[in-house]
Amino acid sequence: MHIPSKDLAPPYLGGLILNQDSCLDVRNNPGADSTTGNVRKVAFMNRRRFFQVAGAAGAALMASPRRMTSVLAASSSTRELVRFPEKTEMILLTDRPPQLETPIHYFRQDLTPNEAFFVRWHLEGIPTSVDLRTFRLNISGHVRQPLQLSVDEMRSQFEPISIVAVNQCSGNSRSFFEPRVPGGQWKHGAVGNAKWSGVPLKSILDRAQVKSGAVDVSFNGLDAPPLPSVSDFVKALSIDHARDGEVMIAYAMNDHALPMVNGFPIRLIVPGWYGTYWVKALSDITVLPQAFSNFWTDKAYRIPSGPNGTESPKNLAKDTIPINRFNVRSIFVRPDPDETLRRGMPTEIEGIAFDAGHGIRRVEVSTDGGATWADARLDPEIGKYSWRRWRAAWTPRSRGQYRLMARATNAIGETQSKEQWNRSGFMWNVIQQVDVRVQ
Partner 1 sequence: MVPKKKSTVLALGLAALVAGCGHPSNVSKEADHSITNARMSDNPVHTIVMPHDEPVFPPGPGRDEFVTACVVCHSPRYITMQPRFSRSTWLSEVKKMKDVYGAHISDEQVPKITDYLVSINGKPDSGQAPKGIYGE
Range 80-139, binding partner 1 (CB under 8 A) = 82-88, 92-98, 114-115, 122, 124-126, 128-133
191 counts as binding partner 1 under rule CB under 8 A: no
Closest to partner 1 by CB, 50 or 373: 50
Rounded to an integer, what distance in angstroms lies between the CA atom of residue 161 and that of residue 196? 8
Give every CB contact of residue 52 below 8 A, 6+ residues apart in sequence: none
Q: What's the min distance (Å) between Cβ of 314 and partner 1?
A: 6
Rounded to an integer, what distance in angstroms lies between the CA atom of residue 396 and that of residue 278? 42
Which span (46-54, 368-376, 396-404, 407-415) binds partner 1, by CB under 8 A? 46-54
Q: What is the CA radius of gyration of the chain?
A: 23
Pick from 106, 301, 326, 402: which binds partner 1 (CB under 8 A)? 301
As a dihedral over the C-alpha atoms of residue 158, residue 162, residue 166, residue 171, rounded to 10 degrees, the angle is: 10
Phi, psi of 259 (to 5 degrees): -60, 150
Closest to partner 1 by CB, 357 or 425: 425
Which span (103-111, 198-206, 257-265, 350-358) binds partner 1, by CB under 8 A? 257-265
Pick from 211, 256, 342, 399: which binds partner 1 (CB under 8 A)? 256
368 counts as binding partner 1 under rule CB under 8 A: no
Residues 419-438, one symbol each (x = binds partner 1 by CB under 8 A, - = not), give ----xxx-------------
Closest to partner 1 by CB, 270 or 349: 270
413 counts as binding partner 1 under rule CB under 8 A: no
Return the half-sphere exposure (C-beta side, CA atoms, 13 A cut-off) of residue 202.
11
List the Cα angle 148/151/154 in 5-degree steps: 75
8 Å CB contact between 248 and 277: no
Give every CB contact of residue 259 below 8 A, 6+ residues apart in sequence: 85, 86, 87, 114, 115, 117, 253
Task: Give the bridge partners for 43, in sequence order.
Answer: 26, 126
Which span (20-28, 325-333, 368-376, 402-410) binds partner 1, by CB under 8 A? 20-28
8 counts as binding partner 1 under rule CB under 8 A: yes
225 counts as binding partner 1 under rule CB under 8 A: yes
Q: What's the min distance (Å) between Cβ of 132 and partner 1?
A: 4
